[in-house]
Amino acid sequence: MISTELAARLREAGLVWRPADGDRFRIDAPDLSDEVFTVSTMTIQAHEFPTGTILGFNGTTEWALDSVAIEDALWLPREDQLRDLLRSTFRGLTRSQTGPAERYEVEVELLGEPRTFADTDPAEAYGAALLALVELST
């Protein structure tokens, strides 16, 4: 799972979330900042309305929260989702060992030039590459 900070940067850059089963998210509220929720047909469903998407809580949670607007939720995309969003720019993922730390490098092609994004967490490396792509697209 990517960091909250990277997820927020992706959202600010213009990444659009269309909730689907299995998606994880946080709610932008101080008392819920440590909670991670998962969209699921049984507990949390995305409801599309002309005014926007609402995430509806189906009464199986321990506290009283009926729904939250998608604008108040922060999507935490999975590694596979980040890779899929890179589409045809994705060239490869490699793992390297430098000293005790393992690093993952995601190589993409942006504007005809190869670029590499590295992190100790492959999801963070994918997220950084996607952020660069989204920023180029806006």
Domain boundary assignment for the chain: 18-75, 79-137
User: pTM value?
Assistant: 0.83
Q: Which fold has domain 79-137?
A: Double Stranded RNA Binding Domain (3.30.160)
pLDDT, residue 33, reads 77
pLDDT, residue 17, reads 94
pLDDT for residue 82 is more than 50: yes
Give the angle 23-74-116 at the CA atoms, nearest 5°.
80
pLDDT, residue 138, reads 80
pLDDT tens digits along 85-109: 999 999 999 999 877 889 999 999 9
Q: If we measure between CA atoms, which residue out of 124, 121, 123, 126 comes closest to residue 108?
A: 126
Question: With pLDDT > 90 as the criterion, what percentage of the chain qualifies?
Answer: 59
